[in-house]
Structure 1
Amino acid sequence: MSLPTPKNQTVLISGVNGYIASVTAKAFLEAGYSVRGTSRSKTSSEGLLKALHDYVEAGRLEIVELPDITVDGAFDKSVKGVHAIAHMASPVSFFFTDPDPVLKAALHGTNSILASALKTPTVKHVVLTSSIAAIMSTKEPPYIFTEKDWNNESLAEIERLGKETPGSHIYRGSKVASETAFWKFREANKPSFSMTAINPAFVYGPPAVLPEDPEKIAETVKPIYDILAGKPLPPPLGGSGSSVDVRDVAALMVLGVSNGTALDGERIIAAAGIGGMQQIADILNESGRYEGRGIEKGEPGKGYEAGFGFPKEGSRIDSSKGRNVLGREWIGFRESVLDAAKVFERYL
């Protein structure tokens, strides 16, 4: 394997063994950067180190164990000497039951890494993985969501319902809290480094690393495996149903560093269109690759636009800004599903 020419610049990726973060690590390495990743334990990153073995051997990928990102100064050592930070460590689940630890981890993790960055003169760019959940809330249709919108609903629901809050609102509230802290830090400290937030929709597409147990596949992309394995169509994930390929999210994270000065202060929605369970089943069944596997048919073609685009009526998302930053079209939902399914074949 021929590795790309190194830039002699290191990017710190928090939570590097996560689904999106591991694909992002690969993207940074392929762009010539070195990567220092933080993880709660080195054991949990063994799969990533194995998948990117050549970069480890070249001294361009290392993992730093960081058991608790919420403590003061947690990132002080790991941030030393880095050129940029991709903050991706954040709790991700739609089935949370207690908002307090989730909000604490999201909020304090963001404040902690920014405080460490402020003390580190080598840091030139910081990119946050936020979420479309920090943007979208209940609006009277028709409505077009853009980067100017904020979800003012979920934190209010957490305050109202406490430990009775639905898991989806806990997740969304954590993203609102984390990104709000990010921008408040910028306003209060006026750092010399650029700050950019990427706001993905539900993320699909092929993982860089597969867990040994398919039940541990990341929540948003796991339905592709479940449907491929012949299980009943899972219930919808909820929210807008908007989707984006993990490789496009990774590309935007890299651009937040390589083009960070131009993107300073920007939020960027990452959303390609609508994708859901029926669409996944239709794509897999129509591919011809999985005949005889007993994939559920559901109600073919029901409930979505041809081409998996955004609905022409009602509320929708304007993701043109992200597309312009990428300089190309989004990876389509069909490609995301088929590429992920091909990776998941090893479990069958």
Structure 2
Amino acid sequence: MAQAMEKELILVTGVTGYIAGRTAEALLQAGYQVRGTVRDLSSARHTQNALSEFDSRFQITVVPDICVAGALDEAMEDCTGVVQIAAPMKISGQKAIPAVEKAVNIVNGVLESASKHPSVNNVVLLSSVSAIRRSGSGPYTFTEKDWNTEVEAMFKTDPDNMSGGMIYRAAKVAAERAFWKYKETNKPRFAMASVNPSFVHGPPLVVPNSVFKIKGTTGFIVSIQAGLDGPDVFKTYPWWVDVRDVARVIVFCVKNRVDGERFLAVSAYGPQQAVADVLRSVRPNSRVEKGVPGEGYAMPGYQAPVSEDQILDGSKLVRVTGQDYIPYEKSVVDTALAYEPLLANLGPSIYIKKVSQKIFSYLMPSGK
């Protein structure tokens, strides 16, 4: 089987991103060849170094603008699978309509390119829980059958007054809707599946050389390591999954050519206090604020408290793949250990607080 996989080349778009980097690694570990796209070759150096053990099985190709029609035509040459992760999008300073149109055009462009290459037999889309979860009152459990109809309605009726966060969610749901509409309309010969993670943490493939360069939701753990409060968005919606689990289910979809399925990837309910409790258990003398141990989450298993009336059910992923999620404690500790060296020379906490806004410039995750 490994020798068979070595003959298969998988395209991973935006390979220098947090989730994409771990996905490329997981595909290589599974025996595949991987071609990763980047906008600029200079940005790929650290990723190439991190994956150097795989030698010629990992290659980089430059796609300056994935939004251009046919941008991936050449990159898909000889590929048997495509993992669409790249989603260049600014959260602030943009209008909803062009942002959503851009997200939809990227997905359609990927699928049109795939349709031109007979070698491509499956396409996996990294979507988001944002395409599934909506706000509301009363008890409800979200699964793969759900869609964020709330943000769709807002985009339809009042796009000019949407916040950056709402625009992000509208783009995610519209992009995935376009993905499945393409399948229904065109009935392509290749299999299609989507993976919808909640907030993602876990150690990155490449650790930046400064806390100021941290991107993605891992910064929530770093902030608590530094003795700070995490951003409010993670306090009110603390559903998490490890990046290595996201990569694993993507590989599962590629390997099994999963068709017509969505996977909601969420393993734990981990509010700020849960992170603090885990970190203090391994670093009792650290800067981490003690808080009220055990408050705001239920044990065993880092579950939502009974007061939480909206639940995310990520059990399908476990049932279908036959493998459980990485334990929450391990995910938190592994993330903290990866970034710990960056905190060693930050100085007193008063200094950290002054620069915390810079550290948390990622408030909405990029590349997710």
TM-score, structure 2 normalization: 0.87
1:342 aligns with 2:334: no
Q: Where in structure 2 are the equivalents of 1:45-194 lying within 5 Å?
A: 45-55=44-54, 58-91=55-88, 97-194=94-191
Q: Is the 8 A contact 2:142 2:312 kept in 1?
A: yes
1:37 is aligned to 36
| 1:160-203 deviations in Å (ceiling 9; x for gaps) | 44343222211111110110010011011111110001111111
Contact 2:235 2:271 in 1 (8 A): no
Give the AA of the match of 1:73: G
- Aligned-residue offset at 1:256: 0.7
SS of the residue 2:200 aligns to: strand
Letter in 2 for 1:276: P
In the TM superposition, residue 147 of structure 1 has moved relative to its aligned partner by: 0.9
In the TM superposition, what is the alpha-carbon distance from 1:104 to its structure 2 partner? 3.4
Count residues with an aligned counterpart.
339
Deviation at 1:238, TM superposition (A): 6.1
1:144 to partner: Cα distance: 1.5
Establish whether residue 281 from structure 1 lines up as the match of residue 276 from structure 2.
Answer: yes
Could you list the runs of 4 or more consecutive aligned residues of structure 1 that deviate by over 6 angstroms after TM superposition? none
Contact 2:83 2:126 in 1 (8 A): yes
1:298 corresponds to which letter in structure 2?
G
Question: Aligned-pair distance for 1:282?
Answer: 1.5
User: 1:311, 1:130 → 2: CA distance?
Assistant: 27
> C-alpha displacement at 1:74, in angstroms?
0.6
Structure 1 residue 330: deviation in Å? Answer: 1.3
Aligned to 1:264: 259
Q: 2-side partners of 1:278 and 1:157: how far apart? A: 33
The Cα RMSD (Å) is 2.0
**1:120-170: CA deviations, max 9, x gaps?**
000011000011110111244211111111111113323444343222211
Q: Secondary structure at the match of 2:324?
A: coil
Checking the alignment, whether the CA contact within 8 Å between 1:90 and 1:105 is kept in structure 2 is no
Residue aligning to 1:26: 25
- Matches of 1:237 and 1:219 in 2, distance apart? 12
1:301 to 294, 304, 329: 294
- Residue 115 and residue 233 in structure 1: after superposition, are their counterparts in 2 closer, same or farther (change >3 A)? closer
What amino acid does structure 2 have at the position aligned with 1:299?
V
Distance in 1 of aligned mates of 2:233 and 2:187: 41
- Whole-angstrom CA distance in 2 between matches of 1:253 and 1:152: 25
Q: Does structure 2 conserve the Cα–Cα contact (< 8 Å) formed by 1:236 and 1:277?
A: no
In structure 1, C-alpha distance between the alignment counterparts of 2:241 and 2:91, rounded to whole Å: 17
Task: Describe the SS at the equivalent of 2:290.
Answer: coil
Matched to 1:271, the amino acid is: V
The alpha-carbon deviation at position 9 of structure 1 amounts to 0.7
How far has the Cα of 1:95 moved from its partner?
5.4
Q: Secondary structure at the match of 2:6?
A: coil
Q: Is the 8 A contact 2:81 2:254 kept in 1?
A: yes
Q: Per-residue deviation at 1:316?
A: 1.2
SS at match of 2:149: coil
Counterpart check, 1:195 vs 2:192 = yes
Q: Which runs of 5+ in 1 are unaligned?
A: none
CA pair 221-94 structure 1, distance change in 2 beyond 3 A: farther
User: By how many angstroms is 1:100 displaced?
Assistant: 4.1
Instruction: For residue 93 of structure 1, report the CA deviation from its aligned partner.
Output: 6.8
TM-score (norm 1): 0.91
Q: Contact 1:123–1:193 at 8 Å: present in 2 too?
A: yes
Assess, with a 3 A threshold, how the Cα gap between structure 1 residues 272 and 95 changes in structure 2: closer, same or farther.
Answer: farther
Judge which range, 337-346 or 149-158, deviates more. Answer: 149-158
CA distance in 2, matches of 1:88, 1:132: 14
Which amino acid is 2:102 matched to?
Answer: A
- Secondary structure of the residue aligned to 1:308 is coil
Q: Structure 2: how far apart are the matches of 1:121 and 1:275?
A: 44
The superposition leaves residues 285-309 of structure 1 with CA deviations (integer Å, 9 ceiling, x where unpaired) of 122xx34332222332221112312
Identity %: 40
Distance 1:189 1:159 in 2: 25
Structure 2: which amino acid aligns with 1:14? T
- The answer to whether 1:204 aligns with 2:201 is yes
Q: Identify the residue that residue 360 of structure 2 maps to in structure 1.
A: none
**What SS does the corresponding residue of 2:234 show, helix, strand or coil?**
coil
- C-alpha distance in 1 between matches for 2:62 and 2:101: 20
Give 1:207-218 correspondences, 5 Å limit: 207-218=204-215
Is this contact kept in 1: 2:124–2:192, CA < 8 A?
Answer: yes
